[in-house]
Amino acid sequence: MTKPGKAPAPCGVAGTSPGASGKVGGSCAVVAPKVGSLYRWPTMVASPLGPLLNGRQGPWSTNKNRLGQVLDDRWTLEAIVGQGGMSTVYQARDRDGGVVAIKILHTHLAEVPSSRARFLAEERASHQVRHAGVVAVLASGESEGVPFLVMELLEGETLAERLRAGRLEPTEAIAVAVGVLEIVARAHDSGIIHRDLKPANIFLTADGQVKVLDFGIAKLPHDATGYLTGEGAELGTPEFMPPEQAGGSDHEIDARTDIFAVGATLFYSLAGHPIHHARSSNEALVAAATRAVVSLSEVVPDAPDALVAIVDRALSFDAEQRWPNARAMARALVATLPASERASLGAFDTSPTLPETSPRSPRRRLG
């Protein structure tokens, strides 16, 4: 089967053990390992934080000042590997010599309850989903009142980075989508809706696994704070949103919201552009809320009919017309492949509760 990478070559992952789940093919997917841009914070269409920043020092001026800092007398921050509007990710060295990623909330957001809650949602999601395709949160703590997460350090590239080299072939796009759907199915079993699935939040590791990143705006069960959800709050990325999410109807968001986003990601992977043509995020948001998506066959005429039908169904404007769950969509995708390709991909587990797919380091709370 075509692997989501450049060419087969020896490769490895720092700080993680390969698991059978979420693996694309049977060998390495990416030749040149890259670390960075893998922990970007999810897009927020409208940020309520602008007034809070007036007269405050910007986050970027303090990032480099942390280099060399030792957290909890254990992890030394060595380099910045990614940063966004909410957090910075550092490569850090454990006192035992191991290398990890440490994600630190920007100082000026540490006192904002909604920002802190969203930041810590990643730890909750990792604990609840317990799947090798979710980035492992190994520990958490605080440094001078600012929360941080210790995470496995990934090597490889995001799907967004992979797509800069060009569109995917159908078998490669299917392999990635099935890997994502397996992870999403486990999250849905736990009552978690990701709400921001997109190429930038899908990671292809150097040994051929698929990882889903950034559960920072996930809809979690029993969210007592109310900070992670909210009627009228447009959280996510408009280019990959279904209409109910673009319209801010939180009560309508469920597993089919993520299924639409997987369909939009498949569309982008095969067509090379988003589901709606828009000149800005606001225009994309309006399009997502009001316009049906054109059939994949109109933009990729040579796409197999069976694949077109699967993608078109996932992108139905009416959520009732979409795939009922992630496993049903994954089974349909696998069924489009020849038997030899199915064997290469591996069987998709259809059980309601999937077994643990690889050993996970025990989590602990620090401080």
Distance CA 255, CA 174 (A): 19
CA-to-CA dists, residue 267 to 170, 197, 301, 321, angstroms? 10, 13, 12, 17
- In sequence order, the 6+-apart residues with CB closer than 8 A to the CB of 239 are 198, 264, 268, 274, 275, 276, 278, 284, 288
**Strand pairing category for 202-205 and 210-212:** antiparallel
- From the list 196, 207, 214, 258, the catalytic residue is 196
Distance CA 275, CA 263 (A): 9
- In sequence order, the 6+-apart residues with CB closer than 8 A to the CB of 222 are none
Active site residue 349: no
Distance CA 321, CA 229 (A): 25
Quick one: which of 18, 37, 16, 42 has its CA closest to 28?
18
Q: Which residues are catalytic?
A: 196
